């Protein structure tokens, strides 16, 4: 008993020195020094622009005074937000893009999980397949724009190849746009496949050995070992896919934003729309997390 | 003591082979879908003009030619600035950007993962929320900040704005979490300074995470063209990506644009093939737990 008290006192003493001693302070300084380059860049090129865009969203702005500091722009309160909500065209596009995400996300996640499970198996040429499924990440930027643009001559790849040439028969059986959409969805699941692969590799092999000894089939061990074990990653991937489809450049909402900003006078409205959109996205993710929380380990 | 059931083992092996074949079939079908755009890219590069404008468009090329390549050399020979200048710019920007990015994020992830200091949790929460920011919202303020810093029309405009990437920091931090604390404690007992711990222990251990960061960011910066259009007025400072995107401007040059896109893709693929085993490794270890 006495020993314990002494031990406790020692611990307390240790704690207090940690709190007020130089060690803690030095660690703080070190911690912040190491992260400062990143933090400065983050504040300067992300937080400040974001803050300014919040401010812009409450003004009807002029080009010479985009944030309303100079007094040339007029403060309108929530008028921009109300205007955006009232605009039927915007509402429809936003609603549609949310609806699209709702059916896209499950497909992406299921497909990614399926492919990841297959890619995890040991078979000849595994590396080649892994590289192939990662191609979309490699082909970024200009090339993606080139491939998926619908301009004359370079028609969108998936619809292009299906409506034509070698696979013309497919377009007769099915609606081409559906196939091209499936193709695009599959294509946007690269990162998810990678995350699932990583998750699958983190499942201890012992578990599989145990259930195999108990006579479980591969099918059973997938549902009772693999899936429960990687369920946090399923949710992570779903969130990733959600965010990805919300902020994707090909999302029509992004098109509206671009249109508003390029018009020159609607910065306020554009900012209001993008903030509402972001908050709505966060709300969807929050609801999703709350719904799926009980599956998290 | 144990009798190995040879028959059972044989059966099990056979079953596995059968499963392997099914897997291969599925993966081949899926893989084809992922390969199609690349194949299409290659085909377009070799298409003669009359095939490019067929309606409905054809996927495969039937009379491959090198005409588009010849045209590309002609276009590049007549450009305002020598082609090599664009190439030099792009290589310089890519190397500088990736070097700085890796340096800054590894440095930030080290204390975030291994130190306890006030404000750390808040900082990390900020990083995770930042993953969801709609960057389009900040487009105009960002433009004004860049012009007010007077870094437009310099190489810096390519490098600075994208350096603080929440995605890469998040990945690095997850990887750093997997490194046992004992290694750093051992280093500290041996009298290493924090800087030394970072350069001698953290950096080598993060090699795989670095490779991942390189792959994830390489193609973005290598194909960079938006910055060139928005912030750069001097032709000498523009990038290869920008030049390639101007080539495809006219309808008449669709084939040349295809060749350009194909050429732009190659470095990304090479980088990926070189680094891929490391990436798979990282993803396995980082585990994002």
Q: What is the pLDDT along chain B (289 residues), one digit of tens a residue?
A: 455 566 665 666 555 567 667 778 888 887 877 777 777 778 777 877 777 666 555 666 777 777 777 777 777 777 777 888 888 999 999 999 999 999 999 999 998 888 888 888 888 888 877 776 666 666 777 887 888 888 888 899 888 888 888 878 877 887 787 778 888 889 989 988 888 989 988 888 888 778 878 877 887 788 787 788 888 888 888 888 888 777 755 555 667 777 777 788 788 878 877 776 666 655 555 443 3
What residues does A62 pair with on adjacent strands? Answer: A65
Contact residues, B window 103-122, toward A, CB-based 8 Å cutoff = 103-105, 107-108, 110-112, 115-120
Domain ranges in chain B?
6-65, 78-286
> How many CB atoms lie under 10 A from the CB of residue B133?
19
Q: What is the pLDDT of residue A133?
A: 81
Determine the Cα–Cα distance for residues A64 and A239; give it in Å rounded to an integer.
39
Which pLDDT value is given to residue B97? 94
Structure tokens at B75: 């276009």
The CATH H-level (homologous superfamily) assignment of domain A87-250 is: MetI-like (1.10.3720.10)
A166 touches chain B (CB under 8 A): yes
Residues A128-161: pLDDT tens digits?
887 788 777 766 544 555 555 543 333 445 555 5
**Interface residue A23 vs chain B (CB under 8 A):** no
* pLDDT higher than threshold 60 for residue A201: yes
A196 and B CB contact within 8 Å: no
pLDDT of residue A68: 62
Lookup: tokens for A67:
């944030």
Mean pLDDT to the nearest integer, A176-200 = 71
Between chain A and chain B, the number of residue pairs with CB atoms below 8 A apart is 269
Strands (E), B149-289: none
Any B CB within 8 A of A136 CB: yes
Looking at residue A179, what is its pLDDT?
58
Chain A residues within 8 A of B258 when measuring between CB atoms: 146, 154
- Cβ-based contacts of B225 with chain A (< 8 Å): 141-142
Question: Can you tell me the distance from the alpha carbon of A189 to that of A133, in angstroms, rounded to the nearest whole number?
Answer: 9
B164 touches A49 (CB < 8 A): no
The verdict on a CB contact (< 8 Å) between B166 and A42 is yes
CATH of B78-286, one of 3.30.2290.10, 1.10.3720.10, 3.40.50.2000, 3.90.10.10: 1.10.3720.10
To the question of pTM greater than 0.90 for the whole model, the response is no
What are the sequence ranges of the domains in chain A? 87-250
């Amino acid at each position: 008993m006495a020993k314990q008290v002494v031990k406790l006192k020692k611990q307390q003493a240790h704690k207090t020195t940690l709190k007020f001693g130089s060690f803690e302070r030095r660690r703080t300084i070190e911690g912040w020094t190491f992260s400062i380059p990143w933090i400065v860049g983050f504040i300067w090129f992300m937080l400040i622009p974001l803050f300014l865009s919040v401010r812009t969203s409450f003004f009807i702005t002029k080009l010479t005074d985009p944030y309303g500091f100079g007094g040339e722009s007029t403060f309108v309160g929530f008028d921009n937000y109300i205007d955006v909500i009232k605009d039927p065209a915007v509402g429809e596009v936003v609603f549609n893009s949310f609806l699209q995400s709702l059916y896209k996300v499950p497909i992406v996640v299921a497909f990614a999980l399926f492919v990841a499970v297959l890619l995890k198996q040991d078979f000849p040429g595994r590396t080649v397949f892994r590289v192939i499924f990662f191609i979309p990440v490699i082909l970024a930027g200009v090339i993606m724009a080139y491939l998926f643009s619908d301009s004359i001559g370079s028609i969108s790849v998936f619809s292009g190849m299906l409506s034509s040439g070698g696979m013309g028969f497919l377009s007769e059986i099915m609606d081409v746009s559906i196939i091209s959409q499936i193709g695009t969805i599959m294509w946007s699941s690269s990162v998810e496949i990678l995350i699932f692969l990583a998750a699958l590799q983190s499942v201890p092999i012992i578990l599989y050995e145990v259930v195999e000894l108990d006579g479980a089939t591969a099918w059973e061990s997938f549902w009772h070992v693999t899936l429960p074990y990687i369920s946090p990653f399923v949710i992570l991937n779903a969130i990733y896919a959600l965010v990805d489809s919300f902020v994707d450049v090909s999302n029509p909402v992004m098109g509206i934003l671009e249109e508003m900003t390029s018009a020159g006078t609607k910065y306020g409205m554009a900012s209001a729309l993008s903030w509402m959109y972001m908050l709505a996205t966060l709300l969807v993710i929050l609801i999703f997390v709350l719904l799926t929380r009980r599956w998290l380990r | 003591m144990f009798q190995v059931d040879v028959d059972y083992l044989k059966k099990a092996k056979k079953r596995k082979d059968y499963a392997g074949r099914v897997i291969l079939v599925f993966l081949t079908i899926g893989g084809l879908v992922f390969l199609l755009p690349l194949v299409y890219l290659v085909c377009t590069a070799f298409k003669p003009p009359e095939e490019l404008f067929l309606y409905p468009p054809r996927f495969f090329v039937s009379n491959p030619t090198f005409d588009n390549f010849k045209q590309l050399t002609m276009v590049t020979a007549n450009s305002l600035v020598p082609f090599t200048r664009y190439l030099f710019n792009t290589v310089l920007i890519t190397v500088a950007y990736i070097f700085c990015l890796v340096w800054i994020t590894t440095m930030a992830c080290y204390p975030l993962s291994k130190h306890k200091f006030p404000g750390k949790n808040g900082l990390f929460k900020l990083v995770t929320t930042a993953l969801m920011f709609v960057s389009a919202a900040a487009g105009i303020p960002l433009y004004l900040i860049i012009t007010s810093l007077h870094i437009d029309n310099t190489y810096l405009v390519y490098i600075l704005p994208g350096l603080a990437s929440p995605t890469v920091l998040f990945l690095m931090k997850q990887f750093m979490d997997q490194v046992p604390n004992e290694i750093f404690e051992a280093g500290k007992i041996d009298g290493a300074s924090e800087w030394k711990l970072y350069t001698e222990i953290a950096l080598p251990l993060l090699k795989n995470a670095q490779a991942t960061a390189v792959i994830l960011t390489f193609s973005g910066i290598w194909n960079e063209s938006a910055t060139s259009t928005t912030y750069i007025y001097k032709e000498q400072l523009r990038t290869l990506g920008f030049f390639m995107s101007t080539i495809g401007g006219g309808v008449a040059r669709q084939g040349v644009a295809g060749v350009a896109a194909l050429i732009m893709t190659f470095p990304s693929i090479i980088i990926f093939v070189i680094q891929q085993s490391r990436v798979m490794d990282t993803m396995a270890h980082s585990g994002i737990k």
